[in-house]
Structure 1
């Protein structure tokens, strides 16, 4: 096989050899060196977790094919809360779109140079208007994902691409789609132009991020426009916005797209113009339960179209939706090499197992040491649910740490403001639910702490990926209760080492107890309810309901409560816990 060839797989699984440079690429792809051996796992003290100031330095010479978000975005990506009985208040679309964007110029376009290919954009047959926009955006060389996928997509083929988050995949699907749209007749000022490019994203933040990139690439395509329709904004506001600003490119979350399909006059007719369909982060779309919405939307758009699926993983469910959405001769392009983990060689991974009633004290101790030893500290603490996130943030704020919180119960404008501040600043601790777990480009994060068992291995990896970015080193700590140790089997191959539980001074315990006591009862009640819902949905822990009730009581005691809070009967019914002994109802 020639050095410039890509091994692709057709729908039936038969290998197909395709020339990678059909769009007049002149420079063959380089052969890359192998992976760096992982860190050796060993039992170390907590000082090894928090005691070093990390920097790039000579370590930037170590080349990995890890995902790096290439364009300096401030967007964040959400994960659906498992127990979310209240509606989230959100601001209007114009507020939601106020994402700060750093423009990183030069040949790297915001991507660390070691993660780029040698192939330049001007070696590919794209239109002069697109090329001019690409240059203005500061992108000269393609990322390896763009190098692998752009030639095939430009041929008009349906593509299922396995590509890790942060590898420049947004440009990989936007640029060739814009090329298709630029050849279509467009009438400036048309009130309801057909939607020619439809991009579905799992989250509001990712949708906004894609739209920001699209606007950069559309800079000289004056007749083309982009709009975003997302959950958490008023439907009528979006309807007015689409009428006032007609577009041919629509970036949407599936649920809100279905709302418009059912409730916005003329919308279904506009979708009949779709020429290119993109499912971005397809695995997450399906993981979040959007399959039925996606299938309904696919049934509403023309069968004669180009379909592009980008996914960090390709489980069976992604393959099933690819059969529904794509032509039989679609191409599968795997840009994730065997053994190339999502975790970074630069991230020192540790775990600690301690009783729940020590978690607040341990967390405070770890943070104090890290803050004292790294003047430029920048920490993200991931919690299991939005309401647990709120509780942890309030406790740590009472302890006078410089805390910001971000979760799905915050308004979109508040989330955007906090995200932007954290992206630009140092000396901050961000307590977060999974709105910050995937696709976020927060530079210079020094430590990621995960409190409680992650939903799965992928979630652990995505959270950890917020540190060790752009060639810099980082640290990761997973804090588990003894009954959560089973999770370590899912990450045993990731060189995660055990860390000894630090001795907690009695004065620290007293300080933490007082801080917990000052937190409002309402916050504790909501955290207890959300905690119970999260672990009830966990197949390992939620199987034994009497044990679950006992563990929930432990969590309640860790919040300083002698008696667990009562839970509304309707919530218990939704959880399937309405007849479980030991739970108080109201």
Structure 2
């Protein structure tokens, strides 16, 4: 039987439901003495936060009636959280002590109070909001505290909705929720874009759902169509994770529409939890609409915390040409592994390599997957073993989930990625973040870098830049502690000249890269050439320098006899009409005969790719992608599947990444977070 203490949140919610409230007007202001003991985040938000109860430190918690708890086991001994949940965390997940954000938010969330928490990603905030959500459900229905056989819910029994800005983060939250709810009868489901909508609906109807983790576009589609048979009349908790990013990505209208499909909070009491890395005015406007006037603001960010982009060592490498990218990455890997041989305390090499276009991600993934220790022996194995992974928005949702989970579990390896992993994604033990080319903006650089140096572990940041990109890069990020590194020999090699005097290691890497690049489809190279033509236009000073650099890349890096042809209509569209060195044609070839005389068809994505996980030569059909992967089958293609506001490039930084035969299709497909 639940203790009286455990029933406390239920009674509190009942009293709160009966109490008169004013929604969106006449905010309840805390007493002067209460406000004086806590700090307001900034002048711009102090007015909007004046009615909230503010909590920032452990000393503040001690002044309140909510006990300070630092161990998960204490939640069970004090009767605040059911033993089934506590056991899953302590025994199954092997967690004992809480992080700072968990100490500050869990106890207050268990009281049923609406809470806005400012917390950085990677600090354990997922557990911080899952515990109150799960305990909320069990308090209302104690029968769900134990596991059952068969369905324990139905499609209209959703008790909690958790909204995330990206598919990957939503899947990550759902995995965590299932772990925490493992010993209970609570059912967790997901609703994200890129997956088949009807299959997801059928699964919810068949298995039931108590907690629905969703992205805004798909959730709005589900709730707005009564034919789906999905409704939320019993909703008792609502969570917005990464709230600032949700609004940065342009999800404000969707979130407002979702609010209209939720039950009236006067009739069905609902706890709202919001977690955000920053608290701009846009977030506070959402707070005013969704939360009760006496919501709590908890600042779980210490004033003396050193941001990742100031704490992690960062190095800049100037490339002789774009063709030096892949050999330089191999040399960075080799140097770290040599250090690790001398220092066994260093973690295995685990890197995320960021490119600025989808096509480049796919091309270099294909090349890295085809690397061989001995280029002359196809059976000699990949230098990264099976640890080569890929992530971009045009992969199907199944592929994206598989790759992200495999890289997350891997002890080492390399993930070739676009910006879909740059925010919110938690990959443990990443030792290196390597960025190729000038990032589209300052925020992109910082968020990418934030994938390493997490959980108080060390990491390194590297950025590889063409000499033409140095000036705009220093103008945008010159104030960051980025030091030039001249130790990478492969970055300076003139790959147009054969027989140069280089070290044995560099010579071997160059041979590996050459052999691997020759296996990559011509279609992948042509698509990447078109994409980079647009990307580099935003950073190089002159267009003839862009053409010269890409021509050198195609011939000396990708080992083509001539640069890929560009349709005249595309050249005109991008402003390259008068560039004589650009290979412009009125009849762009769809295939290129390789050395054996066989034609390699130009496809939207490379068809020569390793099996899932990399390092295996077996052809895998699942590794291909098409335009149909941008949204689930049967769903309309919406703006959710295009670039987000946060990742949107300037007009002169858009890139081409469309299939052959349609030179303007996909012209503005600068790699982005696929948002539905």
TM-score (norm 1): 0.71
Q: Which moved more, 1:364-373 or 1:299-308?
A: 364-373
CA shift in 2, pair 1:313/1:459, >3 Å: farther
C-alpha distance in structure 1 between counterparts of 2:281 and 2:262, whole Å: 24
C-alpha distance in structure 2 between counterparts of 1:534 and 1:473, whole Å: 32
Q: Which residue, out of 450, 453, 465, partners 2:435?
A: 450
Q: C-alpha displacement at 1:7, in angstroms? A: 4.4
CA shift in 2, pair 1:243/1:391, >3 Å: same
CA shift in 2, pair 1:568/1:374, >3 Å: farther
Q: Which residue, out of 117, 120, 135, partners 2:90?
A: 135
C-alpha distance in structure 2 between counterparts of 1:490 and 1:336, whole Å: 26
C-alpha distance in structure 2 between counterparts of 1:329 and 1:567, whole Å: 61
Structure 1 partner of 2:80: 125
Structure 2 partner of 1:332: 297
C-alpha distance in structure 1 between counterparts of 2:548 and 2:294, whole Å: 55
Structure 2 partner of 1:196: 159
Q: Which moved more, 1:191-200 or 1:134-143?
A: 134-143
Does the CA contact (< 8 Å) of 2:310 and 2:480 recur in 1? Answer: no
Structure 2 partner of 1:293: 254
Structure 2 partner of 1:525: 526
C-alpha distance in structure 1 between counterparts of 2:142 and 2:79, whole Å: 25
Does the CA contact (< 8 Å) of 2:117 and 2:274 recur in 1? Answer: yes
Q: Which residue, out of 446, 451, 471, partners 1:461?
A: 446
1:544-578 Cα shifts (integer Å, max 9, x gaps): 8xx46752663353132644542596x899xx748
C-alpha distance in structure 2 between counterparts of 1:314 and 1:332, whole Å: 10
Q: Is 1:318 matched with 2:283?
A: yes
Q: C-alpha displacement at 1:476, in angstroms? A: 1.6
Q: Is 1:230 matched with 2:192?
A: yes
Does the CA contact (< 8 Å) of 2:391 and 2:404 recur in 1? Answer: no
1:47-78 Cα shifts (integer Å, max 9, x gaps): xxxxxxxxxxxxxxxxxxxxxxxxxxxxxxxx
Aligned 1:184-333 pairs, distance under 5 A: 184=140, 189=152, 191-222=154-185, 224-263=186-225, 265-267=227-229, 270-304=231-265, 305-333=270-298
Backbone CA RMSD of aligned residues? 3.8
Q: Which runs of 5+ in 1 are unaligned?
A: 30-106, 110-118
Does the CA contact (< 8 Å) of 2:390 and 2:415 recur in 1? Answer: yes
Does the CA contact (< 8 Å) of 1:201 and 1:253 recur in 2? Answer: yes
Q: C-alpha displacement at 1:339, in angstroms? A: 4.5
Does the CA contact (< 8 Å) of 1:25 and 1:123 recur in 2? Answer: no
Structure 1 partner of 2:49: 13
Q: Which moved more, 1:10-19 or 1:475-484?
A: 10-19
C-alpha distance in structure 1 between counterparts of 2:132 and 2:229, whole Å: 25
CA shift in 2, pair 1:145/1:371, >3 Å: same
Q: C-alpha displacement at 1:390, in angstroms? A: 1.6
C-alpha distance in structure 2 between counterparts of 1:244 and 1:534, whole Å: 46
Structure 1 partner of 2:331: 365
Structure 2 partner of 1:97: none
Structure 1 partner of 2:18: none
C-alpha distance in structure 2 between counterparts of 1:202 and 1:22, whole Å: 35
Q: C-alpha displacement at 1:8, in angstroms? A: 6.1
Q: Which residue, out of 474, 480, 485, partners 1:499?
A: 485
Structure 1 partner of 2:546: 551
Structure 2 partner of 1:74: none
Does the CA contact (< 8 Å) of 1:467 and 1:475 recur in 2? Answer: yes
1:72-97 Cα shifts (integer Å, max 9, x gaps): xxxxxxxxxxxxxxxxxxxxxxxxxx
Aligned 1:31-110 pairs, distance under 5 A: none
Q: C-alpha displacement at 1:333, in angstroms? A: 2.2
CA shift in 2, pair 1:135/1:425, >3 Å: closer
Q: Which moved more, 1:367-376 or 1:226-235?
A: 367-376
C-alpha distance in structure 2 between counterparts of 1:373 and 1:234, whole Å: 46
C-alpha distance in structure 2 between counterparts of 1:23 and 1:133, whole Å: 29
1:264-306 Cα shifts (integer Å, max 9, x gaps): 62546x1343222111112332333333322221222135233
SS at structure 1 position matched to 2:463: strand
Does the CA contact (< 8 Å) of 1:346 and 1:471 recur in 2? Answer: no
Q: Which residue, out of 369, 387, 391, partners 2:359?
A: 387
CA shift in 2, pair 1:199/1:443, >3 Å: closer
Structure 2 partner of 1:356: 322
C-alpha distance in structure 2 between counterparts of 1:523 and 1:393, whole Å: 11
Q: Which moved more, 1:237-246 or 1:305-314?
A: 305-314
SS at structure 2 position matched to 1:183: helix
C-alpha distance in structure 2 between counterparts of 1:121 and 1:344, whole Å: 38
C-alpha distance in structure 2 between counterparts of 1:139 and 1:311, whole Å: 24
Give the structure with higher Rg (CA).
Answer: 2
SS at structure 2 position matched to 1:274: coil
Structure 2 partner of 1:90: none
C-alpha distance in structure 2 between counterparts of 1:580 and 1:236, whole Å: 47
Does the CA contact (< 8 Å) of 2:69 and 2:103 recur in 1? Answer: no
C-alpha distance in structure 2 between counterparts of 1:170 and 1:182, whole Å: 18
Q: Which moved more, 1:252-261 or 1:232-241?
A: 252-261
Q: C-alpha displacement at 1:199, in angstroms? A: 0.5
CA shift in 2, pair 1:345/1:25, >3 Å: farther
Q: Is 1:341 matched with 2:306?
A: yes
CA shift in 2, pair 1:243/1:398, >3 Å: closer
Structure 2 partner of 1:566: 566
Q: C-alpha displacement at 1:245, in angstroms? A: 0.8
Between the two structures, name the one with larger relative contact order (CA 8 Å, sep ≥ 6): 1
CA shift in 2, pair 1:379/1:11, >3 Å: same
Does the CA contact (< 8 Å) of 2:361 and 2:417 recur in 1? Answer: yes
Q: Is 1:157 matched with 2:113?
A: yes
CA shift in 2, pair 1:510/1:474, >3 Å: closer
C-alpha distance in structure 1 between counterparts of 2:563 and 2:545, whole Å: 12
Does the CA contact (< 8 Å) of 1:199 and 1:278 recur in 2? Answer: yes
C-alpha distance in structure 2 between counterparts of 1:510 and 1:218, whole Å: 50
Does the CA contact (< 8 Å) of 1:6 and 1:17 recur in 2? Answer: yes
Does the CA contact (< 8 Å) of 2:174 and 2:213 recur in 1? Answer: yes
C-alpha distance in structure 2 between counterparts of 1:242 and 1:250, whole Å: 9
CA shift in 2, pair 1:339/1:241, >3 Å: same
